Chain A
């Protein structure tokens, strides 16, 4: 198997308007690598949702995207407040985002469900007061 390609991004927790830069960069990189549009769409939407979550809830974090044989792996790590009830957080429509976030069009409670919808595997490791790591896999 060829060496895996790894992309590493820092997600700025302060700047809401620049949120999405890492996802847009991933989209560009995958396009240059010749991935089909639907795979690119799935990876970049899942990653964007994760990025937005890290900005809204965790004050930023890091994203690592690895292109492996047969799949693209996305690992999002933050040191935010953690998720108290993961099952609840996975319900469509459940959100703890503040009103100012909602006025921007986010906080609909669709972020984590979308990440699951667009990926083949998703695992959430979270501890309250410690942080959250989300690992997603998109097969191609």
Chain B
């Protein structure tokens, strides 16, 4: 499914959507950034509770389809701007990482 389709669901809110047509083909959950870089696949939706600017770099380099911030974690404005500038889709949700994963399981 496309990131834009996910963003349209009531459980998700778009934080930045510079690349909304990006296709999601898998899911990865993790907060340790090197672990994510070692294991996440390109085009995964990456579920995390980390919100510092390095998340943007990791999403960009690991080539994930989008970052999904669980439990309503918010991005600082400067991080949001960096994400938008680097073409990184970020969505947030009040659901837990598990809740988001279950939702994605039914959608993908």
Interface contact B35-A108, CB-CB below 8 Å? yes
Given contacts A41-B63, A45-B62, contact A23 B57 (CB under 8 A): yes
Q: Which residues of A contact B (CB under 8 A)?
A: 16-17, 19-20, 23-24, 27, 37-38, 40-41, 44-45, 48-49, 52, 104-106, 108-111, 113-114, 117
3 A-B pairs closest in CB distance: A20-B57, A110-B34, A108-B32
A48 CB contacts on chain B under 8 angstroms: 37, 57-58, 61
Within 8 A of A (CB), among B78-108: 86
A108 CB contacts on chain B under 8 angstroms: 32-35
Interface contact B61-A37, CB-CB below 8 Å? no
Interface contact A104-B38, CB-CB below 8 Å? no
B60 CB contacts on chain A under 8 angstroms: 20, 24, 27
Interface contact A105-B61, CB-CB below 8 Å? no
Known: A23-B61, A41-B63, A52-B34. 19 other contacts (CB 8 A): A16-B54, A19-B54, A20-B54, A37-B42, A37-B63, A41-B61, A45-B37, A104-B52, A105-B31, A105-B52, A106-B34, A108-B32, A108-B33, A109-B34, A110-B34, A110-B37, A110-B38, A111-B34, A117-B38
Interface contact A20-B61, CB-CB below 8 Å? yes
Closest to A18 in B: B53
B55 CB contacts on chain A under 8 angstroms: 105
Interface contact B34-A24, CB-CB below 8 Å? no
Interface contact A105-B37, CB-CB below 8 Å? no
Interface contact A38-B42, CB-CB below 8 Å? yes
A45 CB contacts on chain B under 8 angstroms: 37, 61-62
Interface contact B57-A114, CB-CB below 8 Å? no
Compute how far the CA of A114 lies from the CA of B54 in the bound complex, rounded to whole angstroms.
17
Given contacts A27-B60, A105-B31, A108-B32, contact A41 B38 (CB under 8 A): no
- Select B61's contact among A24, A106, A111, beta carbons within 8 Å: A24
Compute how far the CA of A110 lies from the CA of B52 in the bound complex, rounded to whole angstroms.
19
